[in-house]
Amino acid sequence: MDTQAAICKIMNEVEGVASIVVFEDPIADRIRDEEETVRSVAGPDVINMAFTETYSREVRLCMFCERSISKQETSTLTLEDREGNILGMILTKSMIPEYQGREDIIWVSEDFIMFPGVVPTGDERFILKPMSFPVLNENDGCYDVVMSSPAPSSDILIKRHYGVSLNEELSTVIVGFNVRGKGRSRKT
């Protein structure tokens, strides 16, 4: 599937997508650098593994969406120590019933829990995990398809670059994929 065909498929099948542009190297490189500087309000680093994965793909598309287009089944945000021990995580709606009533967790918000029994072995950091984007798949000749959301500071840079009004209530989503027979992923 070529890039234009992928754009057409997404526009036809995904409700809420206002526009799509090819996310090219100059702005993608700038956003990669910006993502490396992101910290949480509380201080821990924020590692956007989702963006790193998306950035490494052969084809990257930037979508401006009027509503959430993601219905993930697994947690996309965890709080981990340097050893990878999960100290807390955001829950999807489908995960919440599994954790309700448990006495070994602390509810920080309606969808974020902490595991007080897990002792951190080093610095804590928030990890944003890649999200699935099943609209494009191997039947289309697309593989290693991932989706990410940029940090707020990156979102502003992207919107300014593409001339999208900051006053509009559009979310920015980046989808990356490799194309069968085209080559290999980019190096990050």
What is the domain range of residue 165? Answer: 1-38+61-69+145-181
CA 67 → CA 21, 62, 92, distances in Å? Answer: 17, 15, 17
Domain count, the chain: 1
Task: Provide the residue type at 146 as one letter.
Answer: V
85 located within any domain: no
Q: What is the dihedral of CA 85, 35, 130, 165, to 10 degrees?
A: 140
In a domain, 121, yes or no: no
In this structure, is residue 175 part of a structural domain?
yes
HSE-CB at 3 with a 13 A cutoff on CA atoms is 14
118 domain-assigned? no
Domain assignment present for residue 23? The answer is yes
Q: How many helices (H) and strands (E) does the chain have?
A: 5, 10
Report the alpha-carbon angle 57-63-69, nearest 5: 100
In a domain, 106, yes or no: no
Per-residue pLDDT of the chain (188 residues; tens, 9 = 90+): 777 888 888 888 888 888 899 999 899 999 999 998 887 777 788 889 999 999 999 999 999 988 666 676 777 899 999 899 999 999 988 899 999 999 999 999 999 999 999 998 888 999 999 988 888 888 888 999 999 989 889 999 999 999 998 877 888 999 999 987 665 555 55
In a domain, 30, yes or no: yes
